[in-house]
Amino acid sequence: MEYNEIGIKALQEGAYEKAVEAFMQAIEKEPKDAVGYINLGNVFASLGDAEKGEPFFQQAIVLDPEAGTAYYGLANLYYNKERYEEAAKLYETAIRKGIDQSDAYFMLAKSLERMDKVKLALPYMQRAAELAPEDLEIRLSYGIILANMEMFTEAGDEFRFILASDEKNADAHYNLGFLYAVSTDRKEDALMHLKEAFTLEPDYEQARYIHDMIQQSDE
């Protein structure tokens, strides 16, 4: 079995030290092969050690500028360190290099959101939803962006889709309730969904606050 295969198997089993050892051996055996560096970067990323992971992804990019997974791995490290502008550029590059997957578009959109570039984030989140239509986290984020863009009809469709699949999704209840409150006269529906949100999650203070505000306005 190749060292990279041994390392991947160890990583899947949670044997991180063994994985690191195997990937280091892979690098020693083939120092100009980017795969070992990417794998080692992923191990350190899994361990939350960005400082150790970053140079391995960077070296992989030097060795193979077409290695989309290296850009994606490095982008994840930067995103977790709140370096959103750098992360966005790397996610975009990863996509151009062939990482045509929902997670890449999702993370690019989230990076742009964090930079307050919601309008730019919208098409990437839409693409993520198209690639993974059953991923409720993506659909929720897509709905929130649509709502922020005041595309209320489309946003409502996303939140209702989520609730059709998971009727106990507190975030979907909250966002649909809030949407009804700000964009329609359906106050009872708004109250119902907001109440459901903080009933499912008693610490959902924002849902409770808006629910009480609507009730008080009717008194």
- Domain count within the chain: 1
Rg (CA), the chain: 22
- Domain membership of residue 96 (yes or no) is no
Residue 90, in any domain of the structure:
no
Tell me, yes or no, whether 176 lies in a domain: yes
Report whether 34 contacts 64 (CB < 8 A): yes
Asked, for residue 187, whether it belongs to a domain, the answer is yes
- 98 within domain boundaries: no
Per-residue pLDDT of the chain (219 residues; tens, 9 = 90+): 588 899 889 888 889 899 999 999 999 999 999 999 999 999 999 888 889 999 999 999 999 999 999 999 999 999 999 999 999 999 999 999 999 999 999 999 999 999 999 999 999 999 999 999 999 999 999 999 999 999 999 999 999 999 999 999 999 999 999 999 999 999 999 999 999 999 999 999 999 999 999 988 765
Rounded CA-CA distance 122/13 in Å is 37
Q: Say how many Å lie between the first and final Cα of the chain, rounded.
A: 73
Which amino acid is residue 187, in one-letter code?
Answer: K
CA distance 33 to 146: 43
| Residue 46, domain member (yes or no) | no
Read off the CATH number of the domain in which 174 is found: 1.25.40.10
6 domain-assigned: no
Q: Shortest CA distance to 172 belongs to which of 215, 143, 130, 208?
A: 143
In a domain, 156, yes or no: yes
SS (H, E, C) 106-150: HHHHHHHHHCCCHHHHHHHHHHHHHHCCCCHHHHHHHHHHHHHCC
Reported pTM: 0.92
Shortest CA distance to 154 belongs to which of 122, 197, 124? 122
Tell me which residue range forms the domain holding 149: 133-219
